[in-house]
């Protein structure tokens, strides 16, 4: 039977040890973990990760005193990106397990957030026990104050909850100053509703990916950075003109769907131009730096225009059959515009798929082409 080698593991998913204590590498060994806990305690005595690390050291000492072959490590994730942080935890844990021939693991955590990485840990080593550290407090006013203060000082919680609430309050105050309290309530509820939808559907993650991509484009000196910034500014103009269109064709008798399409009617052209510029920037970068991936980027302009055509045709049709105002397109002209838009979108989509299909062959790496030709010749022989 092989010797049991146990790892006492403390996971700091939001990387407080790196962000606050400037510990940039995983701490492996009792002395390194004790130094990490001390530095974090001096940087932020109120951080709960301090208690988790000290509990890990205590567990290590108890197992070592019983004569077990035990190791201890503290691994940090990322302060800015949960995905990158989880990948770092998985990579470092796999390295520690391999180097020390670990058989089993005891996880020490300060709360539920760190336990989200439990599947990642279990992918590398068997988890035999989980120790959750809860700081003892008196149930009085001081404890409530501490919880509120901790909540407001945490950057992740602040970005998630305090920022949208603050924006909603500012919008309400601005609308009240303009003498429109009814509009203020509608605006605040709308902002909170949009935010909840973005969080619930995960749309905010796409914005995070876009910001990361924009940052990488800037650092890499790529053309897509200029294209993305230009597209963003044009999209902002589209939002403004979409709101202007909504006010122009506003009617109290119409429903929410009509208001949405009134906004789309004024903004869709600018959104289409923004998507077109962004996709052309992506294509330029792929052509200059990554030819094999160019085939995936070439259909983007066609799909962007196709979607915009359908949105424009639908908005024209909805407004033409609902608005009591003098809309320039009425009756069957609205239906005709919708049919033309759908037809054009289908044609553009087909062209985009056709271009992608043949671009895969045009930009296929030489090695694959040579192997394909060799295989074809062998079959012919």
pLDDT digits (tens, 9 = 90+) for 65-81: 998 999 999 998 887 77
Structure tokens at 116: 């989200």
**Residue 275 clears pLDDT 80, i.e. is over it:** yes
Q: How far apart, in whole angstroms, are the C-alpha atoms of residue 147 and residue 137?
A: 10
**Residue 224 clears pLDDT 50, i.e. is over it:** yes
- CATH node for 5-132: 3.40.220
Q: How far apart, in whole angstroms, are the C-alpha atoms of residue 9 and residue 163?
A: 34
Q: How far apart, in whole angstroms, are the C-alpha atoms of residue 185 and residue 188?
A: 5
Return the pLDDT at 74. Answer: 92
Contact between 348 and 306 under an 8 Å Cβ cutoff? The reply is yes
Contact between 121 and 94 under an 8 Å Cβ cutoff? The reply is no
Q: How far apart, in whole angstroms, are the C-alpha atoms of residue 316 and residue 151?
A: 48
pTM of the model as a whole: 0.46
Return the pLDDT at 30. Answer: 92
Return the pLDDT at 106. Answer: 92
CA-based R_g, the chain, Å: 29
Of 243 and 157, which is predicted with more confidence? Answer: 243
Among 151-160, 182-191, 361-370, the range scoring the smallest mean pLDDT is: 361-370
Q: How far apart, in whole angstroms, are the C-alpha atoms of residue 128 and residue 157?
A: 31
**Residue 190 clears pLDDT 60, i.e. is over it:** yes
Opening angle at CA 38, ends 34 and 43, nearest 5: 150
Of 373 and 115, which is predicted with more confidence? Answer: 115
Residue 84's CB is within 10 A of a number of other CB atoms, namely 14
**Residue 142 clears pLDDT 50, i.e. is over it:** no
């Amino acid at each position: 039977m092989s010797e049991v080698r146990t790892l006492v593991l403390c996971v700091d998913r939001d990387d407080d040890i790196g962000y606050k204590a400037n510990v940039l590498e995983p701490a492996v060994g009792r002395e390194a973990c004790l130094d990490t806990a001390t530095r974090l305690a001096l940087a932020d005595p109120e951080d709960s990760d301090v208690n988790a690390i000290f509990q890990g050291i205590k567990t290590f000492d108890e197992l070592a005193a019983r004569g077990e072959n035990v190791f201890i490590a503290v691994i940090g994730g990322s302060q800015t990106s949960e995905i990158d942080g989880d990948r770092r935890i998985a990579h470092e844990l796999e390295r520690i397990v391999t180097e020390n021939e670990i058989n089993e693991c005891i996880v020490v955590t300060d709360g539920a957030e760190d336990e989200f990485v439990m599947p990642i840990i279990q992918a590398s080593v068997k988890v035999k026990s989980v120790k959750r550290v809860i700081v003892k407090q008196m149930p009085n006013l001081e404890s409530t104050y501490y919880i509120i203060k901790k909540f407001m000082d945490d950057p992740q919680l602040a970005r998630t909850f305090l920022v949208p609430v603050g924006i909603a309050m500012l919008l309400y105050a601005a609308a009240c100053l303009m003498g429109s309290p009814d509009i203020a309530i509608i605006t605040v509820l709308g902002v909170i509703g949009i935010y909840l939808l973005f969080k619930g559907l995960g749309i905010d993650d796409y914005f995070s990916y876009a910001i990361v991509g924009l940052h990488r484009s800037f650092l890499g000196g790529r053309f897509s950075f200029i294209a993305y910034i230009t597209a963003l500014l044009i999209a902002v103009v589209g939002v403004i003109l979409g709101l202007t269109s909504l006010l122009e064709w506003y009617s109290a008798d119409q429903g929410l769907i009509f208001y949405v399409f009134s906004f789309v009617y004024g903004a869709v052209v600018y959104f289409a131009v923004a998507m077109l510029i962004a996709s052309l920037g992506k294509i330029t970068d792929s052509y200059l730096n990554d030819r094999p991936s160019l085939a995936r980027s070439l259909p983007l302009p066609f799909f962007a225009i196709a979607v915009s055509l359908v949105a424009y045709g639908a908005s024209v049709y909805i407004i033409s059959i609902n608005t009591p105002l003098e809309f320039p397109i009425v009756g069957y002209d609205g239906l005709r515009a919708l049919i033309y838009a759908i037809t054009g979108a289908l044609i553009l989509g087909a062209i985009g798929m056709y271009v992608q299909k043949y671009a895969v062959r045009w930009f296929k790496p030489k090695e694959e082409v040579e192997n394909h030709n060799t295989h074809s010749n062998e079959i012919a022989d």
